[in-house]
Amino acid sequence: MIKLETELRNIKGINEKFLTKLDKLEIKTVRDLLWHFPFRYDDFSSVVKIADLKINQAATIRGVVKKISLRRSWRRKFVIIEVLVTDETGGIKAIWFNQPYIAKVLRAGIRVNFAGKVILSNEELVMQSPAYEPVTATTQTRHTAGLIPIYSETKGLTSKGFRFLISAILRAMESVKDFIPEEVLSSNEMPNIMTALRNIHFPLNMGQAERARERFAFADLFLLQLTNLKNRIALSREKAPPLVIDAVWTNEVISKLPFVLTEAQRRSLDEVLADLRKSQPMNRLLQGDVGSGKTVVAAIAGFAAAENGKQTAFMAPTEVLARQHYKTFAKIFKNMAIGTGILMGGETRAYYGDDLEAKVSRSKLLAEVESGKIKILIGTHALISGGKTRKPAQFKDLALAIVDEQHRFGVDQRAALVKQEKTPGEETTVHFLSMSATPIPRTLALTVFGDLDLSIIDELPVGRKQIITKIVSPANRQKAYDFIRQQVKAGRQVFVICPRIAAAEAEGEAVEDEPRDKRKDLWAEVKNVTEEYERLSKSVFPDLRIAMLHGKLKSTEKAKLMSDFSAGHTDILVSTSVIEVGVDVPNATIMMIEGADRFGLAQLYQFRGRVGRSDHQSYCLLFTDSTAETTQSRLNALLKAKNGFELAEQDLALRGPGEFIGDKQTGIPDLAMKSLNNMELVKAARDAAASIVKKDAELSGYPALRAQLASFQQQIHLE
């Protein structure tokens, strides 16, 4: 009997040539084949009389083959097959190119269905390359006279081949036990797995197909929510050091800050400190718009750990961002004498409440971390990886791990921070705080980050002015340059962002809103840092001080460039997206983005947040040569959105969740990924998972579900 785990090569009738083609699509088992879902359906359900056919109509006709002819083109480069089919109302030709075997399959006198589009050729109606199948009184059609599934194909393996194989296997295989509990299926009015498999491949109508697709998306979302809930339960059973933090101390620290916290900052800080007081480990995501002040919340949490004699590790995705956080912490802790260090590939520094730029050797810094003298250590992945010749940091008593832009790190990297050996065989869990300046739509927060508690800073510091954003067409480029020069002469500074470091890197890359055959050539025209720097410094602003920054520069070079820009020694900084997060230059008031249509909305929002960080009026100029309607619509969304969260919802709708969070980085199945913007389905899956876990947290009474969940958890890797 054929089962889901049966390998296709063990099924009689599937030849080696067919198996080789399937291997190219990574289809090896019955499960792989049945979960190779159609990506669309051709509607040939309407069976039409030949005399009633119209140009460009998609339809099925049923008649008798009268004549078959095979001829070569006048250049003898390909074979043309013509078949004349008739019914009681008339006749029509069907034409195929380079498929001579059709002349052997379709014989004169047989009754046949043809399904396809009717076109006008040489002043007569013909069906070009229609699907076909012989019919009898008992024939169950698979390729005509219905909704015809169309699959992702490979050379030599067509949708017709998939339909033939899947149909045969569905008839021959044993019934599959559904891992989703019956009560969940019933309460959500979902079809069982066998019904869903039949309906997604061979639906009678689009309603059946859509419901089946929704059922499989629900199944993956259900497993994802179960994973989150079980992670929460497992975490609640672990122990972390409870910190003593009273209200008097908190208020005293806040009163010494060089600025006033917003209500949203204070609310988020209270939530974080409440978690730190518990003996269960904190697992919280701190979200906030660019420039909303997340770092000060994290800094006070680190200060609280230091006051308890504990240590904090703060990991950032880039050296630019790590260095920015180090300076921010030092500013906040001025005169507080908290040992703070920075550890990166090419830089080690320490701060004890006096000299921000005090350089120390790597060995001395690591020794002071291990002894506990350094209470807060900031850095990149160097905190945990060290390198081939360098050992990572060893903490004396780590209590808090903070990761900025947490989706940029993998699970293993975070785990290396969160787990610390105290004594041989005794593992202690530390508190974990994740920060993100990328506003996350609620559906994603409930799923991809569903195991994290959520704190949101949804207001900007007092006195910040709204950033004026404009889309700049090629016709207005010179006006924009004149305005930039005017701002620089007034003492302000400018960021210029380009999509790539050099044009050569862009060859073959995708360009939005353009046909595939034109994309390679168009990428050669995309502004890049190297060329843009040369053009601006020599032709456009030869009298201004311009510098170039990108990720391929050495750490020391990047540090010097950013230091010069922050100090006002540079007027214009031309950069790649390396400055997307963390850079704080209050005097920079213009963000000019070349090729703005090449970036997603969330990323554009990040760029814009690099300016508007003082009481000076700031501007964001979106340069684009594209006149495509989709481009203009997307960029206009940036102009109209009231805040980052509203924009994130629009970005999710426009680009889809896969583009938003990176489907390659999560392992979430395609259907579930595409359904992450379906709030009702996400909520239904979350409620169903909560109901099952409440009843049976270990899933002891649901062995099929428990086995499926274990397999699912190996497949995904949420970041």
pLDDT digit string, tens, across residues 71-110:
887 666 778 889 999 999 999 999 988 888 888 888 888 9
Q: What is the DSSP string of 34-57?
A: HTS--SEEEE---B--GGG--TT-
Q: What is the DSSP string of 661-693?
A: IIGGGT---HHHHHGGG-HHHHHHHHHHHHHHH
pLDDT at position 502 is: 53
Is pLDDT above 50 for 505?
A: no
Q: How confident is the model at residue 648 (pLDDT cuts 50, 70, 90)?
A: confident
The residue-averaged pLDDT of 526-541 equals 85
Q: What are phi and psi of 618, to 5 degrees?
A: -120, 160
Q: How far is CA 441 from CA 178, 444, 640, 672, 685, in A?
A: 31, 5, 17, 16, 17
DSSP reduced 3-state for 479: helix
Rounded-to-10 torsion of CA 192, 197, 203, 206: 70
pLDDT at position 454 is: 87
DSSP reduced 3-state for 633: helix
Please name which of 552, 563, 554 lies closest in space to residue 585, comparing C-alpha atoms.
563
The residue-averaged pLDDT of 502-513 equals 40
Pairwise CA distance, residues 554 & 560, whole Å: 10
Q: Phi-psi region for residue 109, left (φ > 0), alpha (ψ -120 to 50) or beta?
A: left
Poorest-pLDDT segment among 134-148, 264-278, 513-527: 513-527
Is pLDDT above 50 for 583?
A: yes
Per-residue pLDDT tens digits for 369-401: 999 999 999 988 778 776 566 777 888 999 999
Q: How far is CA 254 from CA 217, 218, 258, 291, 402, in A?
A: 47, 46, 9, 18, 20
CB atoms within 10 A of CB 446: 21
Per-residue pLDDT tens digits for 469-503: 999 999 999 999 999 999 999 999 999 998 865 54
Is pLDDT above 60 for 51?
A: yes
What integer best gives the mean pLDDT of the chain? 83
The residues with which 622 forms a beta bridge, in sequence order, are 471, 593
Q: Classify residue 491 as exposed, middle or buried by CB count within 10 Å of its CB (0-12, 13-18, 19+).
A: exposed
pLDDT at position 238 is: 85
The residue-averaged pLDDT of 636-649 equals 76
Q: How confident is the model at residue 44 (pLDDT cuts 50, 70, 90)?
A: confident
Beta strand 79-87 with 493-497 is unpaired
337 or 553, which is more confident: 553
Q: How confident is the model at residue 512 (pLDDT cuts 50, 70, 90)?
A: very low
Q: Classify residue 640 as exposed, middle or buried by CB count within 10 Å of its CB (0-12, 13-18, 19+).
A: exposed
Domains in the chain, start-ordered, CATH in brackets? Answer: 46-145 (2.40.50.140), 247-277+293-436 (3.40.50.300), 468-642 (3.40.50.300)
Neighbouring residues of 252: CB distance < 8 A, sequence distance ≥ 6 = none
Poorest-pLDDT segment among 2-16, 175-189, 420-434, 510-524: 510-524
pLDDT at position 574 is: 92
Poorest-pLDDT segment among 42-51, 94-103, 238-247, 550-559: 550-559
The residue-averaged pLDDT of 556-578 equals 87
Instruction: State the residue for tokens 């075997």.
Output: 101
* b/e code 343-370 from CB counts within 10 Å (16+ = b): bbbebbbbbbeeeeeeebebeebbebbe
CB atoms within 10 A of CB 443: 21
* b/e code 197-235 from CB counts within 10 Å (16+ = b): bbbbbbbeeeebbebbbbbbbbbbbbbbbbbbbbbeeeb
Q: How confident is the model at residue 517 (pLDDT cuts 50, 70, 90)?
A: very low
Q: How confident is the model at residue 523 (pLDDT cuts 50, 70, 90)?
A: very low
Of the ranges 24-38, 141-155, 498-512, the best mean pLDDT one: 24-38
pLDDT at position 688 is: 95
Neighbouring residues of 468: CB distance < 8 A, sequence distance ≥ 6 = 617, 618, 619, 620
Poorest-pLDDT segment among 187-191, 444-448, 636-640: 444-448
CB atoms within 10 A of CB 396: 17
Instruction: State the residue for tokens 């690591």.
Output: 366
Q: How confident is the model at residue 288 (pLDDT cuts 50, 70, 90)?
A: confident
The residue-averaged pLDDT of 535-550 equals 93
Q: Classify residue 391 as exposed, middle or buried by CB count within 10 Å of its CB (0-12, 13-18, 19+).
A: exposed
* pLDDT cut 90: percent of the chain above it: 40
The residues with which 128 forms a beta bridge, in sequence order, are 95
Q: Classify residue 150 as exposed, middle or buried by CB count within 10 Å of its CB (0-12, 13-18, 19+).
A: middle
pLDDT at position 75 is: 64
The residues with which 403 forms a beta bridge, in sequence order, are 315, 434
pLDDT at position 402 is: 92
Please name which of 50, 343, 25 lies closest in space to residue 162, comparing C-alpha atoms.
25
Neighbouring residues of 97: CB distance < 8 A, sequence distance ≥ 6 = 78, 79, 80, 81, 129
Q: How confident is the model at residue 139 (pLDDT cuts 50, 70, 90)?
A: low
The residues with which 311 forms a beta bridge, in sequence order, are 398
Pairwise CA distance, residues 402 & 458, whole Å: 20
Pairwise CA distance, residues 331 & 627, whole Å: 46
pLDDT at position 17 is: 86
Q: How confident is the model at residue 656 (pLDDT cuts 50, 70, 90)?
A: low
Q: How confident is the model at residue 590 (pLDDT cuts 50, 70, 90)?
A: very high
Poorest-pLDDT segment among 106-120, 320-334, 475-489: 320-334
pLDDT at position 506 is: 39
As given in the structure block, the two tokens for residue 20 are 């080789």
- What is the rounded radius of gyration, in angstroms, for the C-alpha atoms of the chain? 31
